[in-house]
């Protein structure tokens, strides 16, 4: 099955309208692969026919299925070990300014099926004595209904559980039932999820740390700027934003600046009064 340029443009338009993401010709092979189950399920003979069906009245459910299929939900536990080795230091620096409230609020934007936010929860649980008495609010959001449902379920395949997760953590925080691995309740209770488009008004409250890794690279420039602007409005004055290794705010949003001495990390730029300083 080979998708035509016109069908790819039509599907890209629908995806961008719903999520802000854009398809390009370099992702054509993935589009073809992702849509095969949709075509088979609905007995549609080609991507071209699907593109037409999506414009017809009453196609809302099919649109949702198609958009979910087209989204890149690639993720795995402790993705980018350098980033996760940096996070405890960043969180400690923020927590130094929260000793009076003993509350931390963290948002994983574009969390997919939850591996990132559960990885962070495991880090907190590993150091549970340090965080005794603290309220840890860990939120994962994604535009995909299926991804959010998977995150809430916290059940992973053998392949998913082995990607990035050491055997020690597999046995400590998950229970194997047949071919699936179920997160322990105490880990699940640390995290909550909601469906959220990062191009729309963000979740309520101010966040001490926002993780938006390997998400913005799928957005055109204008939508990157819009997403970053929204995040800047709910980041605490002394909080931090972490992007993916290949992502940047430069050229997209002037409300952030690079956090000195840290990789892929940003803080609010002046004239904000309080800024995070590593080691301060």
Residue 277 lies in a domain: no
Task: Read off the CATH number of the domain in which 246 is found.
Answer: 3.40.50.150
pLDDT range class, residue 30, cuts 50, 70, 90: confident
The whole-model pTM stands at 0.89
Rounded CA-CA distance 269/259 in Å is 10
Residue 118 lies in a domain: yes
- Whether residues 62 and 93 share a domain: the answer is no
Residue 280 lies in a domain: no
Residue 275 lies in a domain: no
Give bridge partners of residue 194 from the DSSP assignment.
141
Domain finish residue from 51, 70, 89: 70
Number of structural domains found in the chain: 2
- Whether residues 123 and 65 share a domain: the answer is no
Q: Measured in Å, how far apart are the chain's first and last C-alpha atoms?
A: 57
- Whether residues 24 and 100 share a domain: the answer is no
Residue 162 lies in a domain: yes
Q: What is the mean pLDDT of the chain?
A: 91
- Whether residues 63 and 111 share a domain: the answer is no
Pairing of strands 135-142, 155-157: unpaired
Residue 216 lies in a domain: yes
- Whether residues 86 and 200 share a domain: the answer is yes
Rounded CA-CA distance 170/104 in Å is 26
Sign of CA dihedral 127, 131, 133, 135: negative
Domain that holds residue 48: 5-70
Record the tokens describing residue 154, joined without a space.
Answer: 């916290």
Residue pLDDT, tens place only, 188-216? 999 999 999 999 999 999 999 999 999 99
Domain finish residue from 46, 70, 94: 70
- Whether residues 60 and 89 share a domain: the answer is no
Rounded CA-CA distance 84/91 in Å is 11
- Whether residues 32 and 155 share a domain: the answer is no
Record the tokens describing residue 131, joined without a space.
Answer: 């965080």
Rounded CA-CA distance 256/243 in Å is 12
- Whether residues 96 and 227 share a domain: the answer is yes
Residues 165-170 have a mean pLDDT of 91
Flag whether pLDDT at 264 surpasses 50: yes
Question: Roughly what angle, to the nearest 10 degrees, separates helices 28-41 and 5-19?
Answer: 80
- Whether residues 255 and 158 share a domain: the answer is yes
Half-sphere exposure of 147 (CA within 13 A, CB side): 29
- Whether residues 175 and 234 share a domain: the answer is yes
Residue 155 lies in a domain: yes
Residue pLDDT, tens place only, 116-162? 999 999 999 999 999 999 999 999 999 999 999 999 999 999 999 99
Residue 274 lies in a domain: no
- Whether residues 39 and 160 share a domain: the answer is no
- Whether residues 146 and 245 share a domain: the answer is yes
Sign of CA dihedral 56, 58, 60, 65: negative
pLDDT over 70, % of the chain: 94
Give bridge partners of residue 267 from the DSSP assignment.
257
Record the tokens describing residue 180, joined without a space.
Answer: 């699936």
Domain finish residue from 20, 49, 70: 70
């Amino acid at each position: 099955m080979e998708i035509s340029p016109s069908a790819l443009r039509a599907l890209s338009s629908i995806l961008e309208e719903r999520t802000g993401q854009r398809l390009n010709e370099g992702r054509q092979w993935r589009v073809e692969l992702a849509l095969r189950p949709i075509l088979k399920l609905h007995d549609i003979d080609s991507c071209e026919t699907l593109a037409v069906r999506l414009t017809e009245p009453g196609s809302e459910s099919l649109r949702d299925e198609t958009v979910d299929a087209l989204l890149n939900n690639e993720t795995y536990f402790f993705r980018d070990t350098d980033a996760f080795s940096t996070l405890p230091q960043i969180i400690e620096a923020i927590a130094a300014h929260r000793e009076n409230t003993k509350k931390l609020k963290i948002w994983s934007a574009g969390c997919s099926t939850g591996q990132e936010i559960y990885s962070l929860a495991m880090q907190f649980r590993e150091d549970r004595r340090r965080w005794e008495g603290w309220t840890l609010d860990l939120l994962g959001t994604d535009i995909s209904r299926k991804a959010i449902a998977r995150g809430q379920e916290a059940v992973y395949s053998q392949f998913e559980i082995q990607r990035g997760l050491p055997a020690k953590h597999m046995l400590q925080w998950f229970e194997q039932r047949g071919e699936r691995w179920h997160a322990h309740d105490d880990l699940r209770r640390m995290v909550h999820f909601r469906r959220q488009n990062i191009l729309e008004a963000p979740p309520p409250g101010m966040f001490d740390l926002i993780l938006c890794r390997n998400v913005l690279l799928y957005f055109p420039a204008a939508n990157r700027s819009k997403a970053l602007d929204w995040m800047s409005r709910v980041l605490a004055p002394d909080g931090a934003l972490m992007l993916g290794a290949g992502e940047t705010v430069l050229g997209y949003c002037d409300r952030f600046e690079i956090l000195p001495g840290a990789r892929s990390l940003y803080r609010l730029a002046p004239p904000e009064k309080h800024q995070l300083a590593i080691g301060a």
